[in-house]
A and B are shown apart, each in its own frame.
Chain A
Amino acid sequence: MLAFILRRILQSIAVLVAVGLVSFSLFRYVGDPINAMVGQDTTMEEREVLREKLGLNDSAPIQFLRFIGNAARGNFGLSYRTSEPVGRLILERVPATLELSFCAAVFVLFVGVPMGVYTGLYPKHWSSRLLQAVSLIGISLPTFLIGILLILVFAVMLHWLPSFGRGETVQVGWWTTNFLTWSGLKALILPAITLGLFQLTLIMRLVRSEMLEVMRADYIKFARARGLTNRAINFGHALKNTLVPVITVAGLQLGSLIAFAVVTETVFAWPGVGQLFIQSVQFSDIPVMAAYLLLIGLFFVLINLIVDLLYFAVDPRLRSQGGGARVAGH
């Protein structure tokens, strides 16, 4: 088991180094750090001096190590677009994205899993069939279209909820939060539903098919024969055994939430990291793109690692074998 964990951590580090290399080559070779810092009338000599001073003439491996060292201290250079430090730009926007993703994840788990259990337990019931059909449509609707439709209905036609921005936020230390004001909470509803709907349908369908499979197993029949209550069977035995694949997918979907936050934030003019990333792509603001790539890489690698380690917590079979078999890979 220890060997498996060590191997997984080594793999994660390798992936991070690869992502760091891509990010570094973006920063160093696609963009030109000098151009971003000086005006048009700077002479070639002055540029060369600056180049030497910044160490841009050093060998690539040394520059790479320096880039990683700076990145670890949150120093990603200046944005081409706003000339502000990239680290600060991103840090200012992290709370908005994390709060949005958190709300979407809560929505996905607390609505998606019960819906999946229900449709799995009563697959023939008309409401299950309806949910199943609606979920198919949910999978086929792109995120931005869901957002637009929600805005159209709840903001433009009914005037119930705001269609853009975070509303009023409260500053807690350096963190700005939506959770402490009424308008902030209201502003969260539509974006969180938009962001979560696709994953919700995915989780629901997954839990449903896992439940259908588990309910046919012998130990469920046996549990019934022992006279256990339906409640104990459904949640104590059946749901528990569907958890391994659900955790995998839920973990990986957490990553997708952050990725699709890019789209949702654009639709709702939500001032998060994703919106910053889209603006940086539109203006080819290379330092911001490089920093975003590195951050998101770190985030994804951590998620994957945690998901793998969670298997041990959920599945006792893995602990006894000590093997590294992924139960349900992607």
Chain B
Amino acid sequence: MAAASGLSGWLHRMTDSDVWWSFKSSPMTVAAAVATVLIIAVAFLSPLLAPHTPFDPVTLNLSDGLKPPVLVSPDGEWAFPLGTDDQGRDILSSIMYGTRLSLVVSLAAVAVAMVIGISLGLISGYFGGTIDAVIMRVADVQLTFPAILVALLIDGVVRGLISVKRHDEIAIFVVVGAIGLSFWVSYARTVRGSVMVERNKEYVQAARVIGLSPLLIMVRHVLPNVTGPVLVIATLNLGLAIITEATLSFLGVGLPSTEPSLGTLIRLGNEVLQSGDWWITVFPGVTLAVLVLAVNLLGDWLRDALNPKLR
């Protein structure tokens, strides 16, 4: 009973807020939210929804290879609505599984970046001094380079350190780590800035006076006050992370073709593009573009909605 009223109270608070109002009054944002939720739902339910299991070799039949999409050619079959690739894999199912993998990798990468960035930002802002200077100089140096280059470099270094066979097994962790490590700077800078403002406020001084440990003060008292900007960066970063993962996989240094993400699918399709079999590339590409566009629109809206200057 208490839980139920808690939930309805929370719902009421949400539907009564400024943010909800600004969300409702922007049809573009609502459309983006619907698209994002839809893509995420379909991707994570792909084992249930997908008509085929494209990466189980037992279910493949080479005679199904290179079927065009149903709606553009009489050669298509309804069993493969978006056509098949040269191995006879159903494009629609590949996209569903691929989107799931892309989302898992990008979400994990953003989480890694958040954890690293927030921790270093908190430490930097709360303690100041030498440790702050060191962290911020490292951030400056890294910011000199675009994230994609940093991710490529980390990926290359890991490849140099381990054998090729092992690499395919841990490729997903390497990609998550590489993207995560290339995105932490913006969190660290934002959190540091907010912490430096917060740490001199009375509630933090009061917490210090009653003898709470710095860790507890940072996590329980300072952190909740910087969640707004962090949330905005995370949403905008998710779009970037999806693109970065797709780019790495497209360049052949991301996820292996045995476990393809959207980027890998586009790379595989690109190899046969010259022969005119466009659907193998174009449908994963469109999915990627729509996903990134929807996430970016949400991020843009969130940035404006949480920015008190624009109210």
Contact = CB atoms under 8 A, between A and B. Distances in A.
B146 to A, nearest CB: 4
Contact of B273 (A141, A151, A278, A304): A151
B96 interface: no
A314 interface: no
B144 A304 contact: yes
A144 B281 contact: no
B247 A143 contact: yes
B156 A284 contact: yes
A146 to B, nearest CB: 10
Contacts of A259: 145-146, 148-149
B288 interface: yes
Nearest to B155: A281
A257 B294 CA distance: 25
Contact of A297 (B144, B278, B292): B144
Interface in B269-287: 270, 273-274, 276, 278, 281-282, 285
The residue among B137, B144, B250 with the most chain A CB atoms within 10 A of its own CB is: B144
B288 A15 contact: no
Contacts of A151: 273
Interface stretch (A105-113, A132-140, A229-237): A132-140
A137 B155 contact: no
A256 B144 CA distance: 10
A136 B251 contact: no
Contacts of A256: 146
A31 B160 contact: yes
A141 B251 contact: no
Contacts of B250: 142, 144, 263, 266
A15 B274 CA distance: 44
Interface residues of B, number: 40
B293 A281 contact: no
A311 interface: no
B266 interface: yes
A149 B285 contact: yes
Contacts of B146: 255-256, 259-260
Contacts of B296: 136, 139-140
Interface in A259-275: 259-260, 262-263, 266-267
Nearest to A267: B270
B281 to A, nearest CB: 6
B108 interface: no
Contact of A277 (B152, B243, B276): B152
- A interface residue count range (under 10 / 10 to 19 / 20 to 34 / 35 or more): 35 or more
Nearest to A266: B251
Contacts of B153: 281, 289, 293
A289 B282 contact: no
B253 A278 contact: yes
B184 to A, nearest CB: 16
Given A26-B157, A145-B289, A278-B251, A163 B144 contact: no
Interface in A122-159: 136-137, 139-145, 148-149, 151-152, 156-157
Nearest to A17: B141
A141 B149 contact: no
A76 to B, nearest CB: 15
A300 B149 CA distance: 12
Given A30-B160, A137-B293, A148 B273 contact: yes
B149 A262 contact: yes
A202 interface: no
A18 B266 contact: no
B70 interface: no
Nearest to B277: A156
B159 interface: yes
Contact of A152 (B144, B239, B253, B282): B282
B290 to A, nearest CB: 8
11 contacts: A15-B141, A142-B292, A144-B251, A148-B285, A156-B273, A259-B148, A278-B152, A282-B159, A282-B252, A286-B160, A300-B144
Given A14-B137, A144-B266, 11 more contacts: A30-B160, A137-B293, A142-B289, A145-B285, A152-B282, A263-B251, A267-B270, A278-B253, A281-B251, A281-B253, A289-B153
